[in-house]
Amino acid sequence: MYALVVFILTFITAISYMIDRQVTTASANVSGGAQVYVKSSAANPINIADLSRTPGIRMIAPLSQVEASFSLRGSADEHYWPLTAFDESLIRMHPPKLEDRGRYVSDRVAWTAVLSDPDLIIADPMFLQTGGPPGFNVRIGDRLTVKDPISGASHEVTVAALSTSDGLIANGMLYGWDSAHLLFGERLVASRSYLTLAPGTNADAFASRLQTQFIGNGTEAFSIAALTDEAFAMTHQIFQLFQGYLAMGLLVGIAGIAVVMVRAVRERRRQIGTLRALGFPAKSVGRSFAIEAGYVALQGTVIGVALALLTLYTIVARSDAMGDLSFAVPYTELGILLLGTMAASLLATVAPALSATRIRPAVALRTTN
């Protein structure tokens, strides 16, 4: 019972720890060189010149997002998906990491190629994952037709690279500013921006101040790290819920060991009496019960932890079942789990052990069972 509960608890704890570690990496991949993401009303966007005069901002990379229509080569069906236009300032700032840059030697080269060539686009890896053709996955080299659903202007593009999933920012497809302007014209408004802040500036506090400063523009500003945390929050909370239920199961196991020890004392009354009659002190008898309980708890805990880590290593490091998740061991959490389980198990045996030490040899030897 110990091994089973500890196995599952270790499994959940380790996965949760790996996901938490991935948040930092995901934030760096999504943000590139930026710390804050800001968006405002497309009808009344923040003036870039006014934004640049805000204390604490080092660089601004303006973006414009429109709802575009996409059709796959050989298919007449149209699918609507966000398209975000970027300019050279995003590349100077250090653009977000690409999930797959295809034939290009670096991410910067890929971004520069897409910016300068209207026939290239960076695709959202989640493109048409909901509502698209069954089993469809966008790949480098795919040909797509981008269309302005209002004017009807269209252009065929090739997927040059795949961006990193950006969660709550939802840039969608990424296209060069000049190329997008040819398609969407005046609809292209710089209502979004990535911001690089001066060293020592708190991104969360700065985003809050920026919202207040440009409230008339319908501004929403976010620390990119906070957005990434929020995107992972639901998964983390689910794992915490599982951990809570499993911890209750572990408490049941610890209570079970106490019950077993109580029964052991009752069933071994004659043996305890014999030992006491032979001269064994009461402390030695009580200590033997504590050692027995500790051995059972230690054995179950070690088996559960070892098997859980071995299983996780096989799933995470030796297969693609968990995607880009990197195997890591939460030593602190597992140490607390191991020590806490042992301490609670020994504590649960205190009453039975004390009961064993109080057994009088003469009375115990007279019992028939």
DSSP string, 258-292: HHHHHHHHHHTHHHHHHHHHTT--HHHHHHHHHHH
Report the pLDDT averaged over residues 12-38.
78
Where residue 323 falls among pLDDT bands split at 50, 70, 90? low
> With 90 as the cut, is the pLDDT of residue 111 above it?
yes
Mean pLDDT (the chain, rounded) = 81
- Break the chain down into helix, strand, coil percent, rounded to 5: 55, 15, 30
Q: For residues 186 and 350, which has the higher predicted lDDT (pLDDT)? A: 186
H or E stretch covering 55: none
> With 60 as the cut, is the pLDDT of residue 364 above it?
no
282-316 and 331-348 helices cross at what angle (nearest 10)? Answer: 150
Report the pLDDT averaged over residues 309-321.
79
- Residues in Cβ contact with 23 at an 8 Å cutoff, skipping those fewer than 6 apart: 228, 229, 232
- For residue range 31-44, list pLDDT tens digits in order: 778 888 899 888 88
Report the pLDDT averaged over residues 100-118.
90
Nearest-angstrom CA–CA distance, 271 and 27: 64
Q: How far is CA 157 from the centre of its chain?
A: 33
Q: How far apart are the first and last CA of the chain?
A: 28
Per DSSP (E only), the strands in the chain are 36-39, 57-72, 79-86, 98-100, 120-123, 143-147, 154-163, 173-176, 192-197, 220-223
- Residues in Cβ contact with 67 at an 8 Å cutoff, skipping those fewer than 6 apart: 80, 81, 82, 83, 149
pLDDT at 113: 92
Nearest-angstrom CA–CA distance, 100 and 131: 23
The owner of tokens 């806490």 is: 340
The neighbour count for residue 300, using CB atoms within 10 Å, is: 22
Nearest-angstrom CA–CA distance, 36 and 33: 10
pLDDT at 317: 77
Nearest-angstrom CA–CA distance, 81 and 152: 15
> With 60 as the cut, is the pLDDT of residue 276 above it?
yes
> With 80 as the cut, is the pLDDT of residue 196 above it?
yes
Sign of CA dihedral 300, 302, 305, 310: negative
What are residue 98's phi and psi, to 5 degrees?
-90, 140
> With 70 as the cut, is the pLDDT of residue 322 above it?
no
Report the pLDDT averaged over residues 59-75.
86
Give the residue from 7, 5, 2, 1 showing the smallest Cα distance to 304.
7
What are residue 81's phi and psi, to 5 degrees?
-155, 145
Report the pLDDT averaged over residues 341-352.
76
Burial of 103 (0-12, 13-18, 19+ CB in 10 A): exposed
Where residue 85 falls among pLDDT bands split at 50, 70, 90? very high
Nearest-angstrom CA–CA distance, 352 and 288: 11
> With 70 as the cut, is the pLDDT of residue 361 above it?
no
Beta strands 173-176 and 154-163: pairing type? unpaired
pLDDT at 110: 92
Where residue 114 falls among pLDDT bands split at 50, 70, 90? very high
Contact status, residue 101 vs residue 110, Cβ threshold 8 Å? yes
Report the pLDDT averaged over residues 275-299.
76
Structure tokens at 239: 């794992």
pLDDT at 164: 84
Q: For residues 135 and 303, which has the higher predicted lDDT (pLDDT)? A: 303
Give the residue from 36, 14, 90 showing the smallest Cα distance to 198.
36
> With 70 as the cut, is the pLDDT of residue 87 above it?
yes
Does this model's pTM top 0.75? My answer is no
Which range scores top for mean pLDDT: 12-16, 74-78, 122-126, 253-257? 122-126
Where residue 112 falls among pLDDT bands split at 50, 70, 90? very high
> With 60 as the cut, is the pLDDT of residue 136 above it?
yes
